[in-house]
Amino acid sequence: MTTTAQPTLERVQAAEQYCTFWVDGLFFGVAVMDVQEVLRYHDMTVVPRAPESVHGLINLRGQIVTAIDLRTRLGLPPRAPGELPMNVVFRSRDETVSLLVDDIGDVIDTSGHVLEPAPVTLPGAVRSVLHGVLPLPDSILLVIDPDRAADVVAEPVSIGGNQ
Protein backbone atom coordinates (compact mmCIF):
# COMPACT_ATOMS: atom_id res chain seq x y z
CA MET A 1 0.00 0.00 0.00
CA THR A 2 2.92 2.32 0.47
CA THR A 3 3.29 4.01 -2.82
CA THR A 4 5.38 7.08 -3.17
CA ALA A 5 4.47 10.18 -5.08
CA GLN A 6 5.56 10.24 -8.67
CA PRO A 7 7.22 13.32 -10.12
CA THR A 8 4.59 15.90 -10.87
CA LEU A 9 4.99 15.96 -14.62
CA GLU A 10 4.55 12.25 -15.00
CA ARG A 11 1.59 12.31 -12.72
CA VAL A 12 -0.22 15.00 -14.60
CA GLN A 13 0.01 12.94 -17.74
CA ALA A 14 -0.43 9.49 -16.30
CA ALA A 15 -3.00 10.00 -13.58
CA GLU A 16 -6.27 8.69 -14.80
CA GLN A 17 -7.49 7.07 -11.65
CA TYR A 18 -8.51 9.24 -8.79
CA CYS A 19 -9.42 8.53 -5.23
CA THR A 20 -12.42 10.76 -4.65
CA PHE A 21 -13.97 12.34 -1.59
CA TRP A 22 -16.44 15.00 -0.57
CA VAL A 23 -15.85 18.11 1.46
CA ASP A 24 -18.77 20.45 2.05
CA GLY A 25 -20.57 19.13 -1.03
CA LEU A 26 -17.55 19.62 -3.28
CA PHE A 27 -16.23 16.61 -5.18
CA PHE A 28 -12.46 16.26 -4.86
CA GLY A 29 -9.93 13.77 -6.16
CA VAL A 30 -6.32 12.86 -5.54
CA ALA A 31 -4.36 10.72 -7.99
CA VAL A 32 -4.59 7.17 -6.76
CA MET A 33 -0.82 6.75 -6.96
CA ASP A 34 -0.38 9.46 -4.34
CA VAL A 35 -2.69 7.98 -1.77
CA GLN A 36 -1.21 5.69 0.82
CA GLU A 37 -4.44 4.62 2.45
CA VAL A 38 -7.87 5.74 3.51
CA LEU A 39 -8.86 5.46 7.15
CA ARG A 40 -11.89 5.96 9.29
CA TYR A 41 -11.79 8.58 11.96
CA HIS A 42 -8.75 8.18 14.14
CA ASP A 43 -8.18 9.53 17.62
CA MET A 44 -5.67 12.35 17.56
CA THR A 45 -3.53 14.52 19.74
CA VAL A 46 -4.28 18.21 19.51
CA VAL A 47 -1.32 20.48 18.93
CA PRO A 48 -1.77 23.72 20.85
CA ARG A 49 -0.80 26.85 18.96
CA ALA A 50 -0.72 24.98 15.67
CA PRO A 51 -2.08 26.61 12.52
CA GLU A 52 -5.84 26.40 12.47
CA SER A 53 -6.02 23.83 9.71
CA VAL A 54 -3.75 21.38 11.57
CA HIS A 55 -6.27 19.28 13.41
CA GLY A 56 -3.86 17.08 15.31
CA LEU A 57 -1.36 14.24 15.21
CA ILE A 58 -2.27 10.63 14.53
CA ASN A 59 -0.27 7.55 15.45
CA LEU A 60 -0.41 5.49 12.29
CA ARG A 61 1.40 2.24 13.13
CA GLY A 62 4.22 4.12 14.79
CA GLN A 63 4.35 6.89 12.24
CA ILE A 64 3.39 10.38 13.27
CA VAL A 65 0.89 11.75 10.81
CA THR A 66 -0.18 15.37 10.68
CA ALA A 67 -3.91 15.62 10.11
CA ILE A 68 -5.03 18.64 8.11
CA ASP A 69 -8.69 19.51 8.08
CA LEU A 70 -9.51 20.24 4.48
CA ARG A 71 -12.52 22.30 5.45
CA THR A 72 -10.44 24.74 7.45
CA ARG A 73 -7.66 24.57 4.90
CA LEU A 74 -10.05 25.61 2.13
CA GLY A 75 -11.86 28.19 4.18
CA LEU A 76 -15.10 26.17 4.14
CA PRO A 77 -17.58 26.15 7.03
CA PRO A 78 -16.79 23.71 9.85
CA ARG A 79 -18.20 20.20 10.00
CA ALA A 80 -21.38 19.74 11.96
CA PRO A 81 -20.66 18.68 15.53
CA GLY A 82 -20.65 14.91 15.96
CA GLU A 83 -19.79 14.29 12.33
CA LEU A 84 -16.50 12.42 12.25
CA PRO A 85 -14.16 13.07 9.33
CA MET A 86 -12.33 10.38 7.34
CA ASN A 87 -8.59 10.32 6.68
CA VAL A 88 -7.00 10.33 3.25
CA VAL A 89 -3.36 9.53 4.00
CA PHE A 90 -0.55 10.31 1.58
CA ARG A 91 3.15 11.09 1.48
CA SER A 92 4.14 14.65 0.84
CA ARG A 93 7.71 15.90 0.77
CA ASP A 94 8.95 12.92 2.75
CA GLU A 95 6.33 13.31 5.45
CA THR A 96 3.09 11.50 6.00
CA VAL A 97 0.05 13.72 5.99
CA SER A 98 -3.64 13.02 6.33
CA LEU A 99 -6.41 15.14 4.86
CA LEU A 100 -9.59 15.12 6.89
CA VAL A 101 -12.58 14.91 4.56
CA ASP A 102 -16.31 14.47 5.01
CA ASP A 103 -16.86 11.29 3.07
CA ILE A 104 -14.96 8.94 0.80
CA GLY A 105 -16.13 8.24 -2.75
CA ASP A 106 -15.08 5.61 -5.27
CA VAL A 107 -11.88 5.34 -7.18
CA ILE A 108 -12.86 6.57 -10.59
CA ASP A 109 -11.24 6.22 -14.00
CA THR A 110 -11.15 9.45 -15.95
CA SER A 111 -9.37 8.34 -19.11
CA GLY A 112 -10.53 10.35 -22.03
CA HIS A 113 -11.13 13.48 -20.00
CA VAL A 114 -8.74 16.37 -20.09
CA LEU A 115 -7.57 18.23 -17.00
CA GLU A 116 -8.54 21.87 -17.24
CA PRO A 117 -7.23 24.78 -15.25
CA ALA A 118 -9.27 25.64 -12.20
CA PRO A 119 -11.86 28.34 -12.96
CA VAL A 120 -10.62 31.72 -11.78
CA THR A 121 -13.86 32.31 -9.98
CA LEU A 122 -13.12 29.65 -7.40
CA PRO A 123 -12.11 31.02 -3.99
CA GLY A 124 -8.33 31.56 -3.81
CA ALA A 125 -7.96 29.14 -0.93
CA VAL A 126 -9.51 26.36 -2.97
CA ARG A 127 -7.79 27.22 -6.21
CA SER A 128 -4.36 27.33 -4.55
CA VAL A 129 -4.44 23.61 -3.74
CA LEU A 130 -5.80 22.42 -7.08
CA HIS A 131 -4.02 20.89 -10.03
CA GLY A 132 -7.03 21.59 -12.12
CA VAL A 133 -10.56 20.37 -12.68
CA LEU A 134 -11.92 17.41 -14.61
CA PRO A 135 -15.37 18.03 -16.04
CA LEU A 136 -16.95 14.58 -15.94
CA PRO A 137 -20.34 13.77 -17.44
CA ASP A 138 -22.28 13.96 -14.19
CA SER A 139 -19.96 15.96 -11.95
CA ILE A 140 -16.90 18.14 -11.81
CA LEU A 141 -13.87 16.67 -10.09
CA LEU A 142 -11.57 19.10 -8.33
CA VAL A 143 -8.11 17.53 -8.58
CA ILE A 144 -5.99 18.29 -5.54
CA ASP A 145 -2.23 18.70 -5.50
CA PRO A 146 -1.43 16.92 -2.23
CA ASP A 147 1.86 18.73 -1.68
CA ARG A 148 0.23 22.12 -1.91
CA ALA A 149 -2.67 21.01 0.24
CA ALA A 150 -0.18 19.95 2.92
CA ASP A 151 1.85 23.14 2.73
CA VAL A 152 0.65 24.86 5.84
CA VAL A 153 3.03 27.32 7.39
CA ALA A 154 3.32 27.84 11.13
CA GLU A 155 4.40 31.16 12.51
CA PRO A 156 6.83 31.09 15.43
CA VAL A 157 4.98 31.27 18.72
CA SER A 158 5.54 34.52 20.55
CA ILE A 159 3.87 35.02 23.86
CA GLY A 160 6.13 37.83 24.89
CA GLY A 161 5.15 37.70 28.53
CA ASN A 162 7.86 40.11 29.56
CA GLN A 163 7.96 42.47 26.66
Partner 1 sequence: MSEDAEIVQEFLVESHENLDQLDRDLVELEQSPGSRELLSSIFRAIHTIKGTSGFLAFHRLETLTHVGENLLSRLRDGELTMTETTAEVLLRMVDTVRALLDLIESTMSDEGDSVDVEPVVEAIVAVLEGDEDVPGITAHDPAAEVTLVHHDAEPVAEPVAEPVVEPVVEADLPQAPQPVATQPVATQAEAAEVAPVAEAAPADPVPAPVPVPVPVVDLDEDPAGEGNGRRSVVDSSVRVDVDLLDSLVQMVGELVLTRNQILQKVDSLADSDLGRATQRLNLVASELQEGVMKTRMQPIGQVWAKMPRIVRDLAHQLGRKVNLEMDGHDTELDRSLLEALKGPLTHLVRNALDHGLEPPEDRVARGKPAEGRLVLRAYHESGQVVVEISDDGRGIDIDRVGAIAVERGVISADQLRRMEPREIQSLIFRPGFSTATEVTNVSGRGVGMDVVRTNIERIGGSVDISSQQGSGTTCRVRIPLTLAIIPALLVGEADERYAIPQANLVELVRVDGEERARSVQTLAGAPVLRLRGHLLPLVSLAGALDVEADESDSLTIVVLQADDVRFGLTVREVHDTQEIVVKPIGRQLKGLGIYAGATIMGDGRVSLILDVAGLAQAHGVDVTAATAATEAKTSSDDQAALLVLEASPGRRAALPLKAISRLEEFPVAAVERTGVTEVVQYRDGILPLVRLAPAIGLVEGGGEREQLSVIVHEHGDRRIGIVIDRVLDVVETTITRSDVGRRPGVLGSAVVQEHVTDLVDLDAVVAMAGIGA
Terminal-residue alpha carbon distance, the chain: 51
DSSP, residue by residue, 2-55: --PPPPHHHHHHH--EEEEEEETTEEEEEEGGGEEEEE-----B--TT--TTEE
CA torsion, points 46, 154, 7, 102, in degrees to nearest 10?
Answer: 40
Choice between 52 and 138, CB closer to partner 1? 52
Size of interface with partner 1, in residues (CB under 8 A): 37
- Select from 33, 38, 39, 47 the one that contacts partner 1 (CB under 8 A): 47
3 or 13: CB nearest partner 1: 3
- Order of strands across the sheet with 103-109? 103-109, 17-23, 26-31, 140-144, 130-135
Taking CB under 8 A as the criterion, the residue among 1, 9, 46, 80 binding partner 1 is 46
Decide: helix, strand or coil at residue 119. coil
Residue numbers 87-106 binding partner 1 by CB under 8 A? 93, 95-97
Residues 59-78, mask of contacts with partner 1 (x by CB under 8 A):
x--xxx-x-x----------
Yes or no: say if 150 and 97 are a contact pair by the CB < 8 Å rule.
yes
Q: Is 139 in the site for partner 1 (CB under 8 A)?
A: no
Let me know: does 125 contact 42? Beta carbons within 8 Å: no
Q: Write down the least CB distance from residue 99 to partner 1, Å.
A: 12
Among 58, 76, 101, 144, binds partner 1 (CB under 8 A): 58
Q: Does 119 bind partner 1 (CB under 8 A)?
A: no
Residue 43 is a binding residue for partner 1 (CB under 8 A): yes
Binding site for partner 1 (CB under 8 A): 43-51, 54, 56-59, 62-64, 66, 68, 93, 95-97, 150-163
